[in-house]
Structure 1
Amino acid sequence: MAEEPQGAAPGPAAEPAPDGHVAPDPRQGLREGMSALRGVRGASGERLDVERDAVSGLRVSADQVFGGDSYVFNMAPGTTGLRSYRLTAEELDEVREAFVAPDGFESLVREIQARTVTVLRGRPGTGKEATARAGLHRAGHRTLHLLDPAADLARIEKADLRRGAGYVLAGLTQRAADALTPFELSRLDAELRACDCRLVLTATVGVQFADPRVRQHVVEVPGSSASEQIVAAHMGWRLGVAAAARSRRLLARRDVRELLREELDGGGAGTAADLGRALAEAAGAVTDDRVAAQARERKALQGERAVAHWLQNMEDLPQQCLAIGIAVFGGEAYEIVAGLARDLEERLQVAESPDNPVRARGVKLIGTRTARLDAVHGTLVDSEVATRHGGARGKVVRFRDPGLAVKVLEHIWSEYDEIREALPGWLRDSAAGVLPTVGVRAAVAAGVLARHGFETVRARILQPWAGDKDAELRDAAAIALGVAAKESGHAAAAYNLVVAWSAGTASAQLQATAARAWRVVFEHDGDEQAWAWLHHLAGIEEVPVVEALCRSLTEYMALDGGRYRSDALDLLDQWAVTGMHGTLRRAVGELAFLYAAGDLIDSPEARTGPYDTGGTATEPRLWPALLTATERDGTQRAEIASLWRQTVNSAVSYTVAHEVLTDWAVLVEPDARGRAALAALLQVTATDRRTELIVRHLAASWVSGTEGRGAPRSGHHVLTHLDGRSGTP
């Protein structure tokens, strides 16, 4: 087939009505707002990463944080589904590397392997939960989940379980033990075996089991390991192999030995593990001669009274504001946090008067970064959150004690009237600022505050943000509500608020915020009812709502490494490709697909050599995540090809589709494997004459570099694939 003329790809025209006039298009209302409706490369992944980091930094309890991306959905309708927290890769590494096996551990592992349900019983301080995690891991389970301590064992069903996972339920009560009958054990055994899962329950020695058939499942903890060994293991794991010599040197110091004697006297395995963590964190922040003192300071700040005394006795308002800034925005660069702290200081500063003059001219600058951080127990650490472009963030500021942030935030909200008055406005302006990551952290802080008064936070923060014209502020309201929904007693209130915002009488802004709070609905209702709810919102012809749906469906595809991508693609296919649900939902489906296509990026496994131009084999390759999916999964390749076929031909979205597809070509231009994946996908896409014509026009424009968007190798690769299929030389 001869190559088509170069230039812009053709766009579909509206079909004429039978009388010769152009039929009115109900999607016309979206056209004016469509030009800005584009996914920003890497934005959703960055937003989810920062949210996860912020929740972790404010120490939301483990049974309230869900899944690899902080969320596991209750897929059963209602609120009775199984709530669980999946251990992160770092926590699994801690299980592998930092657990000190007690005598008899191998025998315990064999007991766990022999059955699907094991009750691990022991005295307080023997490390029952750590032993349960390590036992399941040694039994072959590479994914571990912690069940909500309030989980009803009678409600666990196969649909709640992840194949091959190990589950731990800590702190079995006597009432739950009484309900664990032989019948219930048999039912649990069948459900767990069907999914190749095991469950370990931990209980204290006081919990008794009356039925001898149940007692057969009880294994006594063999006893904890030596406390100093546990300290050394956790300290060594956190400092790393390269610091092994320093770890041994520190543990031999007289002041550290004295600290161990003080803290471990009467303490259990958990105390020893915490002390190992504290010593490692201190070692990462100060020199050897300060490690013991630093660890003591952290312990001294753990109590609420100690935090109150510490804040009250700070030298001045700037110090207090910096501490609050780190509590809320820890994880951002020091310069950003310091600027936000100064903003809060200005809001709280008393007016100028003879007794409170402005700073006199010529007064020297005081307070270096190091001195200011030392005064508030802050430190600089390497960020674990990547940027949306794949690079590292560098040094960020946090408290030396990871548990201090939430204590500071909750204390100042509860005790300081002036700060409570200023905080909503400060968080609002931060959330609506130019840095999206700062906005996410402000939102998480607002959600954490909701545990102390949901109605106050709803009236002063959530409702005003949700009704704002600023999309970033509406996003912040949705994130805050999602965090609040996971606090005890507020899940139902958060859900009812989302439902109220999604009502037909609500403003477009509130409806858009409801669409952004989709995770609250999924957690409460399960997938089928939540999809029906999103389907309802997709029938609203308002640009803010459509944009919110685009962002939310993109996030759904990004969660947990793409685990839910097939579900989202199926919904988009129903809206955009089948056309069964009307022209408006077709347009929404097209735009949501293109938003995700432009936003989501991925680093495929390195199976080839360096980039073709200047890169090295160690550099991360960035592909569109949906392109990566087509290389791994033939079913998703067909679904994504179908959506590309629909959008490049669409009278509504073809311009955006051509731009996003060009972005894909430019992104994979340096990578031969990426170019091959794109060409293979577009070969599947161009199954009809019109689509092939459009794809050829686009590929030719990449070759020629029309409008400065050149990707000549990508374009040649696509044309070669199409020529090979058609037999054209």
Structure 2
Amino acid sequence: MTRPEPSPDSDPPNGLGAGSRLARARRLAGRVFFGGAEAGRDFVAGDVIYHQYPEPAVAAPVTGPSALDAATMALADPVDTGSAGYAELLKFSTHRPMTVLLSDDPDVSVPTAVRLLRDQNHDGMYRLTAAGLRSTPMGEQFHASCGYLLDQTGDDADDVRIAGLLRLVRAAIGPLRSRLVVAARPEGGLRQALAADCFELDARVTPGQLIGPALGNRPHQLDRLVEGMTGARAPADGVALRDLRRRAEGELDDWFAALPGWDDRGHALALAVLDGLPYDLVRRHGERLARAFAEAPAVTVLLDADVPRASRHHLRSARLERLRAEVFADYATTPDGEVRTESVRYRDAAYPSAVLRYAWSEYDDVPHVLLHWLLGLGGDPDEAVRIRAATAAGMLATLAFDHVRDVVVEPWAGDGDPRLRDAAACALHLPSLDPHLYARVRGTLDRWIESGTPALSAAAGRALGASVGHVDPGAALTRLDALAGTGQQTASLAVADSLAELVEWDPRSAVLVLRTIAEWVRVRDPSRNRTGQLAFLVLATDLTTEHRAGFSWPTLLALAESSAEVDALVVHLWQRVLNERFYDTDARTVLTVWASVAEAQPAIRPAFHRLVVSMARDHPRTRRILRTLATTWVSHRTPRTSPHVAAAVFAAMNEGALSHDR
């Protein structure tokens, strides 16, 4: 299949967005193992989309819940409620506020969803729409003891983007004893993003067992065979199916066994992990892995083949041909900026995952050598290598969680090097998406937190961001609250970074995150207070949103424009960080950066002006600080002068908005 050219990643200007690189790199690495489409938020048809947040200046039409009509209710009549399949579905959904029914046939999933809601005896039953979820505040949509239906089976359904909203819905309706049932297609993004809530009608039971003959009987044997082979749902349907077909045809067997010796096999496995990175880098790490295999006698004696010594054998072009790989023009980021380079990749995007799975399962001595090689890659100076190694470890952990955790992930987590702790957090991402492994991942994080060890606590904190925390933001915030009170500096930094990742993953979670931070800065506990202020400044610095005019501006400022609650929380937190002793100097620096962004982009000056006026109103000390800052914004001694912004602040004071402070 044709491979898309990678787009170079870059940070926004004006000093914003410097943090979040781990989350972006993790999503980029996900393309290698998901065949171009990562479950969650940011991958659509293989293209990386950053900061695609709702534009606050554009008001979307409000389309709230509507009562299910008689025709929709009647769809549920043919459902065979006495079948074993329906009993299994009832057992699965009994204690879940949200259930996602996956089926290729909407005539199966939608009637089943309606029947499930009918049988749960709700006070009212309503239909939701994706547009309504995006445009209507959560608190205005849901009521106690009600049932809700969301149909995501249409060809235009945007499952990847709606997944983040559904996590918030799940958190909102749980305390109300209400239920949401979503009908969706298995090839959509919900299967990965909400794996723990998914029930596959076509894989667990055939539609004929669940639905009467009037609605058809179309079992999907290949899907069930994939699930039976892997023991769990594969990370991406397309990759799993291609892998299955290759194994059935013996193609991967024949190709891998025919590679002349473990020199080439080591390079094949290295490329599976580092697919898409610069050729010289992949070659260097491939040689290390090949040497590791050479030092493992069982592998060398039992599996090595006679290596031909023809003059052309060691040419780069010959090796690439044997590996079914290709080089392509690319750009690499260096301390001196981007430089042009040649990168290497498999010609088929499905090979990285397929090669690793095949070698892991078919060669008994490969796992030991491969895991210890990955263990060393976790501390590589190149961030792209670390992220790819962590993602590969995570994929292998879906096959043997305890073993990979003990040999690779936990040693990374317990290390004093924050890069290794980030790698450990990244490695837990894929296992957390597997409903069979999520509890194991959660238990691992709880054990790290309870250990009291600074390194393990910090690693758990990092995992509770975009890696694992996005699966259940409410539970993640509870665990982050425990870490915020430890008084450990490494844990505080990890908590701050992960809170920023949760908002970047799903901007709708900003209210929950900011509420948590506001609670921390109000308490008398110095550890939580300090962590809360640090977290707010990290959010204010790292998170940026793409404006329709093509420039980046602070996400918190953008969200404050569209939500009164976010606006109030942002104003309150700015007042706290500017006035308290922990990070007041840093807070003034960050606010000055915001002012410089507003100075450079007139379109956002009104938003910044409204924020500053709200901060100063009824808060005399903050007014004095803002006056001092505004004076520095026009000083020739300031590297970033912002005369227009400063003039607007002074004008607001002089025109009476803040006249009581004259």
Pairwise TM-score range, normalised by the shorter structure:
0.5 to 0.7
Shift of 1:371: 5.5
Are 1:328 and 2:273 matched, yes or no?
yes
Partners in 2 of 1:585 and 1:478 — Cα distance? 22
Partners in 2 of 1:714 and 1:182 — Cα distance? 54
Partners in 2 of 1:331 and 1:565 — Cα distance? 34
Distance 1:536 1:386, change over 3 A: same
Are 1:308 and 2:246 matched, yes or no?
no
Question: Pairwise mapping of residues 174-185 of structure 1 onto structure 2 (< 5 A)?
Answer: 183-184=118-119
Partners in 2 of 1:120 and 1:474 — Cα distance? 53
Q: Contact 2:313–2:319 at 8 Å: present in 1 too? A: no
Shift of 1:489: 3.6
Partner residue in 2 for 1:511: 457
Shift of 1:322: 3.5
Unaligned 5+ residue runs, structure 1? 1-38, 70-87, 93-111, 122-148, 224-266, 269-296, 352-362, 607-619
Task: Summarize deviations over 1:334-375 as a string: whole Å, max 9, x none.
Answer: 454344334434544569xxxxxxxxxxx999634x655443
Distance 1:584 1:307, change over 3 A: same
Report % sequence identity.
Answer: 25
Q: Given the alignment, which residue of 371, 375, 390 partners 1:428?
A: 375
Partner residue in 2 for 1:226: none
Distance 1:200 1:551, change over 3 A: closer
Question: Pairwise mapping of residues 510-659 of structure 1 onto structure 2 (< 5 A)?
Answer: 510-518=456-464, 526-560=472-506, 562-576=507-521, 579-580=522-523, 582-606=525-549, 620-659=550-589
Question: Pairwise mapping of residues 210-609 of structure 1 onto structure 2 (< 5 A)?
Answer: 215=212, 219-220=215-216, 301=246, 303=248, 305-315=250-260, 317=262, 319-348=264-293, 367-368=315-316, 372-379=319-326, 397-416=344-363, 419-487=366-434, 489-503=436-450, 505-518=451-464, 526-560=472-506, 562-576=507-521, 579-580=522-523, 582-606=525-549
Task: Summarize deviations over 1:410-456 as a string: whole Å, max 9, x none.
Answer: 23334456653443343234332333333222111111111332222
Partner residue in 2 for 1:142: none
Q: Contact 1:44–1:555 at 8 Å: present in 2 too? A: no
Q: Given the alignment, which residue of 65, 73, 98 partners 1:160?
A: 98
Shift of 1:471: 1.1
Distance 1:428 1:722, change over 3 A: farther
Q: Contact 1:118–1:219 at 8 Å: present in 2 too? A: no
Structure with the greater relative contact order (CA < 8 A, sep ≥ 6): 1 or 2? 1
Shift of 1:641: 1.6
Partners in 2 of 1:563 and 1:603 — Cα distance? 16
Higher mean C-alpha deviation, range 49-58 or range 466-475 = 49-58
Task: Return the letter of the residue paired with 1:155.
Answer: S
Task: Summarize deviations over 1:372-402 as a string: whole Å, max 9, x none.
Answer: 5443223467999999xx9999986442322
TM-score by length of 2: 0.65
Q: Contact 1:678–1:718 at 8 Å: present in 2 too? A: no
Partner residue in 1 for 2:591: 661
Task: Summarize deviations over 1:528-571 as a string: whole Å, max 9, x none.
Answer: 554333222111011111011011111111113x1211110111
Higher mean C-alpha deviation, range 414-423 or range 584-593 = 414-423
Partner residue in 2 for 1:671: 601
Q: Given the alignment, which residue of 28, 40, 44 partners 1:67?
A: 40
Shift of 1:685: 1.5
Shift of 1:466: 0.8
Partners in 2 of 1:392 and 1:347 — Cα distance? 31
Partners in 1 of 2:290 and 2:561 — Cα distance? 52
**SS of residue in 2 equivalent to 1:563:** helix
**Aligned-pair Cα RMSD in Å:** 5.0
TM-score by length of 1: 0.60
**SS of residue in 2 equivalent to 1:704:** coil
Partners in 2 of 1:580 and 1:599 — Cα distance? 25
Distance 1:633 1:502, change over 3 A: same
Partners in 2 of 1:488 and 1:53 — Cα distance? 23
Partners in 2 of 1:700 and 1:321 — Cα distance? 62
Task: Return the letter of the residue paired with 2:150.
Answer: C
Q: Contact 1:49–1:385 at 8 Å: present in 2 too? A: no
Partners in 2 of 1:178 and 1:681 — Cα distance? 45
Count of equivalent residues: 516
Asked which structure has the greater CA Rg, the reply is 1
Q: Contact 1:333–1:397 at 8 Å: present in 2 too? A: yes
Q: Contact 1:54–1:331 at 8 Å: present in 2 too? A: no
**SS of residue in 1 equivalent to 2:502:** helix
Distance 1:695 1:315, change over 3 A: farther
Are 1:55 and 2:30 matched, yes or no?
yes
